[in-house]
Structure 1
Amino acid sequence: MVAIQTSDSSTAAQDAAFSAEVREWLEQNLNGEFRALRGLGGPGREHEAFDERLAWDRHLAAAGWTCLGWPAEYGGRDATVRQQVIFHEEYAKANAPARVSHVGEELLGPTVLAFGTQAQKDRFLPGVRNVTELWCQGYSEPGAGSDLAAVSTSAHLDGDEWSVNGQKIWTSLAHVADWCFVIARTEKGSARHKGLSYLLVPMNQPGIEVRPIIQLTGTSEFNEVFFDNARTAADLVIGEPGAGWRIAMGTLAFERGVSTLGQQIRFAQELADVEALARRTGAAEDPLIADRIDRAWVGLRVMRAHAIRTMASAEVDDSGQASVSKLLWANWHRGLGELAMAVLGPQGLLADDNDDLNEWQRMYLFTRADTIYGGSNEVQRNIISERVLGLPREAR
């Protein structure tokens, strides 16, 4: 884990200049063809202006605003953790559109940098950096849910290729992805955390079928992915075969990195919007509603303090803190959806004349999934209890 160092006056001046640079660039570029993208996209809304947001991501890349923390030799800026936090927070404050390349930039790219071979870095990092190849994550399965150690998707070497068979589910953006990083069982007869490998699998091939899952919101950013003798090259395994659990845990640690502070800025805006709605409807006069709004504000501050603490300490257990982070934001955001419906009151049960959902109804319905995807509450609590606190394992 990278530490956030205490700033001296020189570093503070550099950070202030960097913040001003980011802010000025966003003000100048979120205009013209990109002005209409402000506020679009994100969980539950990935269908919004997808092609246009992809063009925006490539515009960011051309200006050097992707993969900031990467070494310069791989196209990054060698940005400090503090500067990466500044970028994500300024990006959120500008109401810039949600990124379509986040799985590649925030998950796959850092994993390849940390664990990949030089050939893998040369092959895959440019496509992530330039947003010319999109990625999805092949973790969850119908019979395993969020329990990654229970996956049954298998792969075996057939000549100079892996042959992959099985099914993944809740695979975000699989329908637009070029590649998928897949956790598969490559040692026959292995169980739980042993015998897993982290494979990079091309999506555009006859052995892969993607079926969209229609969500409560009516959209379908999640998918089922079926592998029927899907193929990938023998050398497209990150780390050695059988080390997939360790690599996967590394990816999850990257997932809950500096970008979570930008996520919290968006959460704060959502809370401000709910509070404004409460004032317009008069719901803010209800002491119970007012108390819930206050508690939501406190919850945001707790999330921020936790994120800064874990990034500032190299001694905090990564897996346990990642689980705590997931529990904090997922439960908070689900609670915000419930608060929005409480503010709306009976009106929240009605659709408009076209049976379309309003933004509050969509928030409520989609945030029901927050405590499930990315590792369910139950799995996160098991990780904390068993691996961090050393409590007895849950009966299987």
Structure 2
Amino acid sequence: MLGLWIGETGMKALTWQKKGKITCKSVPDPKIEDGRDVIIKVTSCAICGSDLHLLGGFMPTMQCGDVLGHETMGEVVDVGRDNTKLKVGDRIVVPFTISCGECRQCRWGNWSCCERTNPNGKMQAETFGYPLAGLFGFSHITGGYAGGQAEYLRVPYADVGPIKIPDGIEDEKVLFLSDIFPTGYQAAEYCEITPEAEKTIAIFGCGPVGLMAIRSCFLLGAKRVIAIDTVPERLAMARASGAETIDFQAQPIQETLIEMTGGLGPDAVIEAVGMESHGADTQAQKISSAIMSAVTTLERPFALNQAILACRPGGILSMPGVYAGPAGPIMVGVLMNKGLTLRTGQTHVQRYLEPLLGKIMNGDIDPSTIISHRSANLEDGPALYEKFRDKSDHCTKVVFHPHG
């Protein structure tokens, strides 16, 4: 069934130009390319922390003019002829992972490992060994799909991924189902938290994913959450979410964690920082920093190493923090000798959409409280990217409403 929307001569979108430069440009309107597609009028979209990796030039295969963004929702304005799940007028949240629903990985529930949706899978397999799911707005190695920081978006495989949003619930409460809420929840779930276990969880990084992880840990029944960051606004939000906090610029992380846990250490650690992390406070990290100054092609796993050190022996290290390529040096010996379990990966968003929407509608959580900056104009995007990157003007999360 086809919708009545007819594209105009072009739409506004935030585009990657080169390392350090993002501009708002007029780009061609999206069109139905496959019978399972839909086109949405983007009502809300956001800047994700991993978008800053693109801005910083850390993700390979970006091309000048690529449309950015993978946290998106909107109203369906056109529907491919084979899509019977959605209709014009539906409000949907779009997962950042594009999944076919038919391959073995999708059938297993490993949605981010979909074997079919990356048209550049052969390129990706040269680095990863196998193709993985296509991603919106996140380079050509992940499929080259246009992103959702735009006025309109083509959603492929739209009969599988998106979730319909009921009337009466505002965009900002559900927008983060597209990425950061399921990402934080999956990271917490990987820690095997139950109320009976009375676990203490340490979380490195209080950015949007870290904040969602804090709240998810408590939703799952964690006894204590200790959050590590240095940005005052983020630490304040972590405390407001129920966490105890460590400012890594003011306190030595490992010694403070040992003291706070009576020498036992956290039962699990979530590393929600990823590449570009900094703030070394141990001798091993200082050595790592010195090596990294000479080996600039590797990603900087400072937070990962601190997380490995922080976790108690026999514990779990959950890593939602994004890395794009080789990283080093990493404390593999410490990881192995302590008997840690490492769990990581891009989020299987579709696995969590229904249950997490239920938690929002029940009032168990309101993800919108982390938003600090809003704009109805995509032309504000380049400046807001810089504020989010620099953590200036108390910026913790940016949301756009491209149509006002």
Q: Report the TM-score when normalising by structure 2.
A: 0.26
Return the structure number with greater strand share: 2
Return the structure number with greater helix share: 1
